[in-house]
Amino acid sequence: MTRVLLRLVLRWETLLIVAIVGGGIWSATLSEFFFTRINLLDLATPYVFIGLLAFGLTFVVIAGEIDISVTSILAVSVVSFAQLLDHGVNVWLATAAGLGVAAALGLVNGLLVGVLNLPSLAVTLGTLAAFQGLAFVILSGEGVAEFPQRYLSIGGGYSKQELPHALVLLVAAAFVLGLLLHATRFGRYLFAIGSNREAAHLSGVPASRVRVTVFVISGLMAGIAGIAYVGFFGSARADAAQGSLLDVVTAVVLGGVNIFGGAGTMVGVFLALILVAVLRNGMQLANVGGDTQNIVIGVLLLAAIAAGNLGRAIQDGSISLARLGIRRRGVIRSDAKEAAIAMSVESQTPKGR
Amino acid sequence: MRRKRLGILSLISLVAVVVLSVGLSAGTSSAGTERAESGKRIFFLPKLIGVNVFTENGKSAKEAARALGETVTYNGPTEAVAAKQVPFIDSAARQGYNAIVISANDPNAVAPALKRAQQRGLKVISYDGDVRKDARTIFVSPPKASDIGAFQVEWLGAQIRYRGEIAILSATPTAANQNTWIKFMKQTLKKRKYRNMKLVKTAYGNDNPTDSAKETQALLRAYPNLKGIIAPTTVGISAAAQVLDQSRRCRRVALTGLGLPNQMRRYVKKGCARRFGLWNERDFGYLATYVASLVLDGKLTGKLGESFRAGRLGTRRVVTSDGNSPVVVLGKPLVFTRANIDKYNF
Amino acid sequence: MIAELRGLKPQQIAAAAFRLREIGLVIALGAAVVFFAIRAPNFLTVGNWQDIARDVAIVVVVAVGETMVVLTRNIDLSVASIVGLSAYISADYLASHPGTALGVAALIAVGVGTVLGFVNGLLVVVARIPAIIATLATLAIYRGLSFQVTAGDQVSAFQLPDRFLDLAASKPLGLPTLAWFAFAVAIAGSAVLRWTRWGRDFYAIGSNPEAARFAGIPVGRRIILAFTICGALSGLGGFLWASRFPNVDAVAATDFELDVITAVVIGGVNVFGGSGTIFGVVLGAVLVATIQDGFTLLRLSEFWKMFFNGAAIVVAVTIDALVTRRLQDALRRRRAEVLAARHAAAPPRPEAAP
């Protein structure tokens, strides 16, 4: 009984819950308005779009890749939608088009990484810039800010004056995606590919197809996140979500998803997002500027990874300054001689990022 | 299992350290709050912080607050983006502020958030950058927009003998005041007197010094026959002046617009922006705060013709200005030249 | 065997790859020049090329540092924040101490950058945080520090001494001063990478970190060094930035890292590390700046420039990967042949420890 309890208590998710409570206490000390009903219910609303982006990114990271172009995809999706709306297209049709654009951009990433086998970091670095530029080409520096109320209410509406729709959206997405990740064969493929792509491929996992699909998912989630974004912020601009990548990555990493792939839970990412929301909300109520808030989030991100590494290193007993080398997991190690002979550009497993 | 525990402990302690340090420093929030014994709390939200004109507005807002016995918090985003103003509006509502004084980056984008705040009982006063009519009670305007537009065209025309290619270096493409002024500038350019002046481009510097400088450089390259630039933004005009000065083009390209005397003094004396203007930013924030306070007290409702006393600024009235209402106008623009620039200190 | 590996093999591959790349860049540059000379007015004027030189200069200075990091199979996304922070600090110092020698201000900027770069190195090596994450975080943290330091204020051009502003305006021998700086840094960078042991080690580490470690290279120390140099050069870039854009505020140089990384990637530095040259990076930077200048002269919307940057990175990476893959296959084939020959020639014996 104690063993079961212990296992439960020492899970990463439990730690996150503790951190959320701790964060809540801290935020309460920052501002007397934190523990008010209207605030607590509405806590996550401004950050729901980040959560949706993070959910999509989780799929990609578990599969062993990375996608830093998600914020740009959101921007293109949002401005496409806005332009269509501005030209008289029905709002729901325009929304569907926006989602379609987002998925298509995700497909571009997917094809480049999954089919051409290009390194995902470099590719998405390029598409981050290319898509961002595309967003500006579509809408220049202007903004569209006239939207039908029903559309806005998805991201910014409230039921009975209190329950934010955005929160409902977030929880629903977490649930659905969590099922997709943990209870389907597709999800299992992801974990397999992320742990060891070679082995997965040899076991019959259709690695290429799966990898293309995760990027499409990531793109699609960016499109959905765009809906939440416009609902809350009230405007569609080409620089939408710019600068939010830090929070998205933090939610994923803090959520316990292994950055090298192969491990992570949707619940964890959800909890991590709540933690980020709690901290940011507290700081915002205390009138701490966004850029100072970023320092806190940035340090939190670093601390989380460093702590994990520290823990792992202590266990391995390998803390030693004399052996500061880059440690990579999952490299197939043949004997030392082979490794030495292995030519420069041998290893294609994208572990070194 | 052990490693997880260690990892957990290290994480908690690291987070605790960070959290404590920020918590301690956040006690003194970076964008100061002027506290008073009792009285209402007003949130002063400029287009962006870190820009001299808005900082001046903020200072004078606090001065007004002191006179009235109220509290003003001055804070805002670090970029002139409407979406970045939204969290501040939201947060002001949750923190129980009584009123928001806002200069908006986009009149429509902030409207939903402002209306949410109004529903929670806050009063909204806009100044400088107006918002949609239904999202605010009164708009406090700098000098009449039609004046501001016409004057700048005249200031430039006089410098270039009323002929040649000219360009406008604006701030953000969505700001209501910028667009209104540009509209009046274009109207003025249609007049006979200015028929030989041709507007070739409107560029946007986003109230960002680097962007404004780059836009100016691009203008100079793309339009080598450019004779003059109108920059109705203090960030834009100082960046343009610096670019013209550095590239030794002050003689060839005339510059005018809205600028702060302190920032432009050196350039005016070098002959880089021989004539430009503004209004008293110190008075602007002061007036807006007074209006907000009076609205909170119920003494002002935005009815046309209402008059009130605004502290050291004397009696003012609520009017219709350039088709917009209800508006309180600050006054007439000030003109700066080499002759009088030393008289001003802001 | 290992001794051979250390200095030789990565160089051979690098040599093969970059020669191809540099020729390609020169051709592309030539094509761009011809295109714009025909279509855009004033493209071939001295004034325009001086403008291009000024644009490129700061990018090159920082890109040399970034190259060193990328060679080791890492990346530094925080360079723009370092540029912004050091630009502000050095400009602020100059504004409040007007008699200061420019060299001192430059040293302050470089100092700030060095410290920040060193921190990046520690995070990546000691804390073992993947570079992409570590520098994404420090990008935000250093930018946040800019806000703390500026405290809502800014340095205005009129507060700065003329001789500082002249750095960006003067053109000794017809080449802008900023470009001279870039030239010097590029030469120094190339020299370091070719002739110092630690410079060559960067290539080895990027090619194969495991092998490099076995070969006795202090991988961790070298990586920290790479990040530190990158930070120092970013600091210098900040000093130059302040002279070119003397109204320095907390958001100075935002998004600049994209320009730098574009130059690096297009210049042929492989994101997997191990190959690339400064010369290529300079060519890459010049190519990008030339095309963007051409866009300006053609009065094209500046948003196409952003799109172009990104598309160029994707194209460059694709070419890189395809070229690299071909080389890989060739090398694998060669190794298979060598091993087969060796096994056929002599009976297998236990090898002495490498």
Residue C174 CA, chain-centre distance (Å), reads 25
| Residues forming beta bridges with residue B335, ordered by sequence position | B277
Q: What percent of chain B has pLDDT over 90?
A: 58
pLDDT for the residue numbered A81: 93
Q: At which residue do the structure tokens 């006979």 appear? A: B192
Reported as a single tens digit per residue, the pLDDT across C77-103 is 999 999 999 999 999 999 999 888 999
pLDDT for the residue numbered B8: 53
Backbone angles phi, psi at B329, to 5 degrees: -100, 140
State yes or no: pLDDT of A321 exceeds 60. no
Query: Span B93-107, mean pLDDT?
Result: 92
Tell whether C41 lies on the interface with B, counting CB pairs under 8 A.
yes
Tell whether B263 lies on the interface with C, counting CB pairs under 8 A.
yes
- For an interface test with B, give the residue of A154, A235, A285 to mutate (most B CBs within 10 A): A235
Amino acid at C90: S
Cβ atoms C145, C87 nearer than 8 A: no
- The HSE-up count of residue B293 (CA atoms within 13 Å, CB side) is 25
pLDDT band at B331 (very low <50, low <70, confident <90, very high): confident
Task: Name the residue of chain C whose CA is nearest to B263's CA.
Answer: C158
Report the distance separating Cα A76 and Cα A240, nearest Å.
9
- Helix axes C162-169 and B234-246, enclosed angle (nearest 10): 70
d(CA A235, nearest CA chain B) in Å: 5
Task: Name the residue of chain A whose CA is nearest to B4's CA.
Answer: A311
Report in angstroms the alpha-carbon separations of B277 from B16, B246, B260, B268, C67.
Answer: 52, 22, 8, 12, 47
Tell whether B179 lies on the interface with C, counting CB pairs under 8 A.
no
pLDDT band at A37 (very low <50, low <70, confident <90, very high): confident
d(CA A57, nearest CA chain B) in Å: 23
More confident: B174 or A272: A272
Q: Give the strand pairing for B33-34 and B71-74.
A: antiparallel
Amino acid at C88: Y
- Which of C48, C169, C251 is the closest to B221 by Cβ? C48
Decide if B221 and C296 are in contact by the 8 Å CB cutoff. yes
DSSP C129: -
CATH superfamily for domain B33-142+281-330: Response regulator (3.40.50.2300)
Query: Span B32-39, mean pLDDT?
Result: 51
Q: Is the dihedral of CA B187, B191, B193, B195 positive or negative?
A: positive
Chains that touch B (3 or more CB pairs under 8 A): A, C
Decide if A352 and C262 are in contact by the 8 Å CB cutoff. no
Residues in B closer than 8 angstroms to C250, CB to CB, are: 50, 78
Q: What percent of chain B has pLDDT over 70?
A: 89
E strand spans, C244-290: none
Q: In chain C, which stretches have pLDDT less than 50?
A: 1-8, 354
Residues 6+ apart with CB under 8 A from C318: A112, A116, A118
Of C308, C296, C307, residue with least CA distance to C43: C296
State yes or no: pLDDT of B299 exceeds 80. yes
- DSSP string covering A64-118, please? T---TTHHHHHHHHHHHHHHHHHTT--HHHHHHHHHHHHHHHHHHHHIIIIIS--
Domain at C2-337: CATH code: 1.10.3470
pLDDT for the residue numbered B2: 46
d(CA C175, nearest CA chain B) in Å: 14
Terminal alpha carbon distance of chain A: 42
Cβ atoms C219, A352 nearer than 8 A: no
Q: Give the strand pairing for B324-329 and B319-321.
A: antiparallel
Query: Span B305-323, mean pLDDT?
Result: 85
Helix (H) / strand (E) element for A164: namely strand A163-164
- Which of A259, A292, A339 is the closest to C133 by Cβ? A259
Report the distance separating Cα C316 and Cα C25, nearest Å.
11
pLDDT for the residue numbered B35: 45
E strand spans, chain B: 33-34, 41-45, 71-74, 99-102, 123-127, 138-141, 164-170, 197-204, 226-231, 254-257, 276-278, 307-309, 315-317, 319-321, 324-329, 334-336
State yes or no: pLDDT of A310 exceeds 70. yes
State yes or no: pLDDT of B5 exceeds 70. no
pLDDT band at A337 (very low <50, low <70, confident <90, very high): very low
E strand spans, C58-125: none
- Which of C158, C165, C251 is the closest to B79 by Cβ? C251
pLDDT band at B114 (very low <50, low <70, confident <90, very high): very high
Report in angstroms the alpha-carbon separations of C257 from A37, B278, C78, C232.
Answer: 42, 36, 7, 15
Backbone angles phi, psi at A341, to 5 degrees: -75, -30
Give B145-278's CATH code, choosing from 3.50.50.60, 3.30.750.24, 3.40.190.10, 3.40.50.2300: 3.40.50.2300
Max intra-chain CA distance, chain C:
80
**Which stretch of A120-129, B20-29, B152-161 has the lowest confidence by average pLDDT?**
B20-29
pLDDT for the residue numbered A351: 41
d(CA C177, nearest CA chain B) in Å: 13
pTM for the complete prediction?
0.86
Residues in C closer than 8 angstroms to B213, CB to CB, are: 245, 247
| Domain regions of chain A by residue span | 44-271
What ipTM was predicted for this assembly?
A: 0.84
Report the distance separating Cα A167 and Cα A151, nearest Å.
16
- DSSP string covering C279-316, please? HHHHHHHHHHHHHHHHHHHTT--THHHHHHHHHHHHHH
Report the distance separating Cα A64 and Cα C145, nearest Å.
33
- Which of C158, C247, C251 is the closest to B78 by Cβ? C251
Report the distance separating Cα B333 and Cα B12, nearest Å.
58
Fold match flag (B33-142+281-330 vs B145-278): yes
Of B259, B262, B252, B254, residue with least CA distance to B276: B259
Report the distance separating Cα C185 and Cα C285, nearest Å.
14
Decide if B50 and C165 are in contact by the 8 Å CB cutoff. no
pLDDT for the residue numbered C274: 85
Residues in C closer than 8 angstroms to B50, CB to CB, are: 150, 152-154, 249-251
3-state SS, residue A256: coil
Task: Work out the number of other CB atoms within 10 angstroms of the CB of residue C133.
Answer: 24
| Domain regions of chain B by residue span | 33-142+281-330, 145-278
